Structure 1
Amino acid sequence: MAYYRSVGAVPPKRHIQHRDPEGRLYYEELMGEEGFSSDSALLYHRGVPSALVDSQVWELPDQSRTPNHPLKARHLKLHDLTTDPCPVEGRRLVLGNNDVRIGYVVTGPASMGPSPLYRNAIGDECVYVESGAGTVESVFGVVPYRAGDYVVIPRATTHRWVPSEASQLFAIEANSHIHPPKRYLSRFGQLLEHAPYSERDLHGPGEPLLADGVDVDVLVKHRTSAGIVGTRMTYATHPFDVVGWDGCLYPYTFNIDDYMPITGKIHQPPPVHQVFEGWNFVICNFLPRKVDYHELAIPVPYYHSNVDSDEVMFYVGGDYEARKGSGINLGSISLHPGGFAHGPQPAAIEASLGADYFDESAVMVDTFAPLDLGEGGLAVEDPAYAWTWAGRGPAVGDTGAGGPAVHSTD
């Protein structure tokens, strides 16, 4: 995110001496994307940021994936999913491919305390807060979160979640960076006038978070030739020892209520609802809005074939018009994979005529590679959903998800 910030004590020039009041040198760390050719931040530590004293295996939660075969639409009821209360280790994999993984966790209350220190060395994370509140503490400082926030955490940022109340977290983990759509950015990175949000809506850390400690554990999610793995690294000093930093790379929040929906005289396609993008996937949000105002408009979507993508819709608020009669409720995920046409339930089309406002909220993830089902998704599937457009069950019975589980080849 090319939006410069400076927090805490930084020297007047890069890569020069920066000392504490007793004359001790702070240790400068460059955290940068794409080698030295993209966004970065410079952090100034009291201790040596690479002072590792131990490294052990961290056994990740189940990351296996099952192909969507035979091919069909899926309905997953996330509110029926039981999770461990830890915001990091409690995540259960719902859907995923080699570009992005979608997980879900319901955290414990404030009395559970903070999560372990954690960093994702595979890619950025964009965590949608379905409900709850708290803070995310990181080497950059503290970012409060609340219901409706997207919490965007750059790759390899050491951080921890500190819920102040139980929180439902919809975690989108990329194998890439996550940023605003390029069409909304100037060639220098500023959000343009036609963008549905601006820099005023992005909230980053405001001051350093200083912590002391010795032999501090950090859980690291990373890749090997065998796939996604975890390591528990132990550092001589606490990673939260940063006295100041500056640059264009840092965690931030963006609340869904600050997104200004784009509407039109006739039905607008999903790209107008886009909020972020990563490599081979996009994130959109559908929000309460005025709808199409042509005298013959059909407000719900037309049927469409996903020629190049799988579509994931997570229903988080209101009453989603196009899915009436399908069993979809708050907390539901619909997966409409590439390979066949999908659209509104038939009765929803006539019912929508004449509507001038939709009260609905949903987070959508569209991927350009097929999505597999994670163990969490399989655990809460509604097997009847695929047949709701026809109004009857399958001719030969529901054969389930199909083939054996596979493991990520990231």
Structure 2
Amino acid sequence: MEFVFSKGKVARQAHVAVPEGTYEEEHGRETFFGRASHLYRSHPPTAWIRIEGPLRPRALNLNEMKPGDMIDASSSWQLIAGNDEVRLFLSRRARPMAHYLRDADGDLCYFVHRGQGLFETDYGPLTYSKGDYIVIPKGTTHRVVPESDDTFFFIIEGDGEFRIPDRGLMGRHAQFDPGMLEVPEPDPHDEQGEFEVRVKRNQELTSLWFAWHPLDVVGWQGDLCPAKLNILQHRPVYSPSYHMPPSVHCTFANDGFVICSFVPRPLEEDPQVLKVPFYHANIDADEVLFYHAGNYFSRAGIDEGYMTLHPQGVHHGPQPAAIEASKTKTRTDEVAVMVETENPLQLSPEAEAVSIEEYETSWARGMGLLDN
């Protein structure tokens, strides 16, 4: 039997019947799985009026980034942020790749923000369209063939293998049944000519040239292969009487990070229950949110194609207007991808260039503590 200490003015049940005039903060370890306490503050812990130093919440307008593959078919992605275990990239490829890619740095998860087309792979082709996750295992030769000129991929590269997380008491068919994953059928090519395969290792490229088409597989058997899942096939878990933590939305796990899917869902029905995310500092993880579609009522000034980064140790939570708006809402209307990393992420210079400075103090601005 676990026990807790209770001192002063508190809510007996976390996130329910928060004392009038207070703001609940979750101070916890191991993201939302370790020991935790709830602190009831007189003021929002996010209402700082100035920041000095490297730790600061960031909002990036990725629509303003211009990766090389946007104009050059032989070019590649643009790094957004990374650490030793995970890298985040942006691709806006307008034309079919002029080469084939074999990533020896890790598994790839392409999230399709915009566009449609085809992934040609060793295992066969997979079509892609808006909202798809395309998982490409490490070492798989593949090529992207867009059918539109507005392709926009948010790419997550991990050192480990992408896997479906343990669903615990809910069972292995919760959120999405593994049978929902689409995998390719062989489509062997027998063309002759000169074909370039670029092998990426330690973020450097080596080119291999073949006199025959590299995608010549006539059959495959096993449990390692590319797979596709649309984000709207992720069925959210929710409760009418309790605000669930973000970890309940986990779609894929990897070494040192997870990917979670936020999709439209009913909001809590009990009038005493928080309907917006509770304040927390997430002191054991950096939190990235990529905003795909819908209305992000918990974040003012954030639009489709934006990304936020909240670093370990700095609080985040709903902005003031979101708390008020949540009182009359009955559903969320947002689609977003969260990447939560155990180790801190470092932004690239190109990402720093599209950072929105006002976001760092947006909570104080929303309370009228700073001029807009």
The residue aligned with 2:88 is 102
Distance in 1, matches of 2:63 and 2:234, equals: 25
Choose from 200, 204, 209 the match for 1:229: 204
Q: Is the 8 A contact 2:81 2:87 kept in 1?
A: yes
The residue aligned with 2:255 is 279
Distance in 2, matches of 1:93 and 1:202, equals: 28
Q: Is the 8 A contact 2:291 2:305 kept in 1?
A: yes
The more displaced of 202-211 and 176-185 is 176-185
Give the letter for the 2:332 counterpart: F
- Label 1:171 to 1:380 Cα distance change in 2 as closer, same or farther (>3 A): same
The residue aligned with 1:348 is 322
The residue aligned with 2:271 is 295
1:184 Cα deviation from its structure 2 partner: 6.1
TM-superposition CA deviations, 1:248-288 (whole Å, max 9, x none): 11111100111101001221100111100110000001111
SS at 2:298 equivalent: helix
Q: CA RMSD in A?
A: 2.2
The residue aligned with 1:239 is 214
Give the letter for the 1:81 counterpart: M
1:378 Cα deviation from its structure 2 partner: 1.4
Q: Determine whether 1:268 maps to 2:254.
A: no
Q: Is the 8 A contact 1:214 1:238 kept in 2?
A: yes
Give the letter for the 1:243 counterpart: V
Distance in 2, matches of 1:140 and 1:81, equals: 32
Q: Is the 8 A contact 1:124 1:173 kept in 2?
A: yes
Distance in 2, matches of 1:364 and 1:311, equals: 7
Q: Is the 8 A contact 2:74 2:97 kept in 1?
A: no
Q: Determine whether 1:322 maps to 2:298.
A: yes
Distance in 1, matches of 2:227 and 2:168, equals: 18
Q: How many residues align?
A: 313
Q: Is the 8 A contact 2:182 2:227 kept in 1?
A: yes
Distance in 1, matches of 2:267 and 2:365, equals: 28
For structure 2, the residue ranges without an aligned partner over 5 or more in a row are: 1-51
Give the letter for the 1:74 counterpart: R
1:307 Cα deviation from its structure 2 partner: 1.0
TM-superposition CA deviations, 1:214-237 (whole Å, max 9, x none): 4421111113xxxx3221122343
1:244 Cα deviation from its structure 2 partner: 1.0
- Label 1:69 to 1:242 Cα distance change in 2 as closer, same or farther (>3 A): farther
1:116 Cα deviation from its structure 2 partner: 1.6
- Label 1:390 to 1:126 Cα distance change in 2 as closer, same or farther (>3 A): same
Q: Is the 8 A contact 1:139 1:159 kept in 2?
A: yes
Q: Determine whether 1:192 maps to 2:192.
A: no
- Label 1:343 to 1:115 Cα distance change in 2 as closer, same or farther (>3 A): farther
Q: Determine whether 1:218 maps to 2:191.
A: no
- Label 1:334 to 1:254 Cα distance change in 2 as closer, same or farther (>3 A): same
For structure 1, the residue ranges without an aligned partner over 5 or more in a row are: 1-67, 396-410
Give the letter for the 1:254 counterpart: L
TM-superposition CA deviations, 1:161-209 (whole Å, max 9, x none): 01111311111111111111133699xxxx723x200133211112323
Give the letter for the 1:75 counterpart: A
Distance in 2, matches of 1:234 and 1:275, equals: 37
1:80 Cα deviation from its structure 2 partner: 1.3
Q: Is the 8 A contact 1:314 1:334 kept in 2?
A: yes
The residue aligned with 2:155 is 171
Give the letter for the 2:218 counterpart: V
Q: Is the 8 A contact 1:102 1:172 kept in 2?
A: yes
- Label 1:87 to 1:149 Cα distance change in 2 as closer, same or farther (>3 A): farther
Distance in 2, matches of 1:246 and 1:298, equals: 48
Q: Determine whether 1:379 maps to 2:353.
A: yes
TM-score, length of structure 1 as denominator length: 0.72
Give the letter for the 1:140 counterpart: Y
Give the letter for the 2:167 counterpart: R
The residue aligned with 2:100 is 117
Give the letter for the 1:182 counterpart: D
TM-superposition CA deviations, 1:76-122 (whole Å, max 9, x none): 001111223257833111111111110112121xxx33442001101
Q: Determine whether 1:253 maps to 2:228.
A: yes
SS at 2:110 equivalent: strand
Following superposition, which runs of at least 4 residues in structure 1 exceed 4 angstroms of deviation? none
